[in-house]
Amino acid sequence: MLLDKHGVLGPDTWRHLGDDEPAADGEAVTISFKRWQAEGERWREHSGPLGLRLPNDIAPAAIAAALDRVALVVLNFPRFVDGRAYSQARLLRDRFGFRGELRAAGNVLRDQLLFMARCGFDSFEVDTERARAENWSTAFREFDLFYQPANDRAEPILWRRLRNWQTAAE
């Protein structure tokens, strides 16, 4: 099941293909980075939406040329202590200008959802029962002030304090 960055649970409309599975015409599919490397030209002709599953040990620059054809990039969190997908997300959004859907998959935890969304993730593969039981939909609204700038362009507290200090000094 998918959770979007607004806390709404919904079905996954994408089919995640194995490296030897065919896709039907017009079908929304994701393929592995390995398959993209081997069959990239073939997939440029796919008539439906195309997504790539990028392992967290591959730099986003490796798929930069394909981003104009890709509607979804799935980034993997193999363990909760492995944060490389955060960096991949920021690079895809800020350096490479990717505006399609970014999805977090793997070991996605409730207390990391807001940080993932701030890095540019749009959706999260989650266990539906666990997400409902732990009320994951509220995770995006628990904090509204931040110390660091991020992809969501929320104003950091320091900038707000500086502006208030300058206004008071005038």
pLDDT number for residue 17: 94
Looking only at the bridges linking them, the beta strands covering 123-125 and 101-106 are parallel
Task: Write 106-110 long-range contacts (CB < 8 A, 24+).
Answer: 106/76, 106/77, 106/78, 107/77, 107/78, 107/79, 107/80, 107/82, 108/77, 109/80, 110/134, 110/136, 110/139
Residue 101 forms part of a structural domain: yes
38 falls within a domain: yes
- CB atoms closer than 10 angstroms to residue 7: 16
What's 119's domain CATH number?
A: 3.20.20.70
Amino acid 65: pLDDT: 92
Confidence grade of residue 163 (pLDDT, cut at 50, 70, 90): confident
Inside any domain, residue 106: yes
Q: Is the pLDDT of residue 62 over 90?
A: yes
Does some domain include residue 159? no
Q: Is residue 99 part of a domain?
A: yes
| Residue the block writes with tokens 């490796």 | 62
In a domain, 165, yes or no: no
40, 66 Cβ separation under 8 angstroms: yes
- From the CB of residue 163, how many other CB atoms can be counted at a distance below 10 Å? 11
Question: Is it the case that residue 123 has pLDDT exceeding 80?
Answer: yes
pLDDT band at 4 (very low <50, low <70, confident <90, very high): confident
Q: Does 160 reside within a domain?
A: no
Q: Are 53 and 74 in contact (CB under 8 A)?
A: yes
pLDDT band at 5 (very low <50, low <70, confident <90, very high): confident
Instruction: State which residues form the domain around 77.
Output: 2-143
Residue 161 lies in a domain: no
Give the per-residue pLDDT at 69.
Answer: 92
Q: Tell me the average pLDDT across 54-76.
A: 95
- DSSP bridge partners of 10: 2
Q: Indicate the number of domains in the chain.
A: 1
pTM of the model: 0.84
pLDDT given at position 67: 95
Is the pLDDT at 161 greater than 90? The verdict is no
